[in-house]
Amino acid sequence: MGFMTAPSGGGDFKVFVSYNAKAGRWYTKRDGKDEPLFEVTDMTAVFDMPGLKTGWFKFSAGVAPEKVMDPSFTAAAANPGQDFKRGFVIDLFSDKNLLGVREFSSTASIVIDAMNDLYDAWMAAPEVAAGQLPVVRCVGVFPVTNKHGTNYQPKFEIVGWTDRPEALGESDQPATAAPTQVAQAPAATPPTPAAHMPPPAAAAPGAPLF
């Protein structure tokens, strides 16, 4: 089911975390527009699933993406124009791995498929009723080849649950809100992860995940 249909084919500045589907790797930066990117080697963070939003996005090099957000999951905003694509945006939090709150957005269909799977797993979990948020890890990436070449789909796994971190602020969405829109079925996942992003090393017993 998921939360949106994968696509077929300016907002306030916020520090981002990005996924490079060609390389199968994650990147972020320290606070500040002029900071250099660095690779996130353990992509484990709290995902603010109740705050997940969909809309139209236009990505341009070196600047924050332009966004036109949907009123809800079931009511899409009008297409604002050329070069805008359907996508999502969500806040993630990890002091350990991301240096704080980071915004994650994408219009790539393979990333939307992975997020749809994560959304369904989140909605099915009993912890949602208690208002807890999932601690999510990218446990690997899988090659997907089409006319555009080979890209790498992230594989998300819920590895824990936590109360809402203060850094994410108050949620403006009910924890159990579920869309009724049926999403496009994700492509079959290959059984073996690609070597582009090796699975993170297991944390020591008692060590914080995020």
The answer, yes or no, to whether residue 7 has pLDDT greater than 80, is no
97: part of which helix (H) or strand (E)? helix 95-98
Strand-pair partners of 72: 75
* pLDDT tens by residue, 129-169: 999 999 999 999 999 998 889 999 999 999 999 999 999 99
Every domain of the chain and the residues it spans: 17-168
φ/ψ of 141, rounded to 5, equals -135, 150
pTM of the model: 0.80
Torsion (CA) 20, 71, 132, 27 in degrees, nearest 10: 10
Write out the H or E segment, with its range, that includes residue 124: helix 109-124
The neighbour count for residue 148, using CB atoms within 10 Å, is 9
**What percent of the chain stands above pLDDT 70?**
76
Q: What is the pLDDT of residues 87-132, one digit of tens each?
A: 999 999 999 999 999 999 999 999 999 999 999 999 999 999 999 9
- Say what the pLDDT of residue 141 is: 95
Q: Nearest CA to 200 among 136, 120, 124, 108? A: 136
- Which of these, 57, 81, 56, lies nearest to 70 by C-alpha position? 56
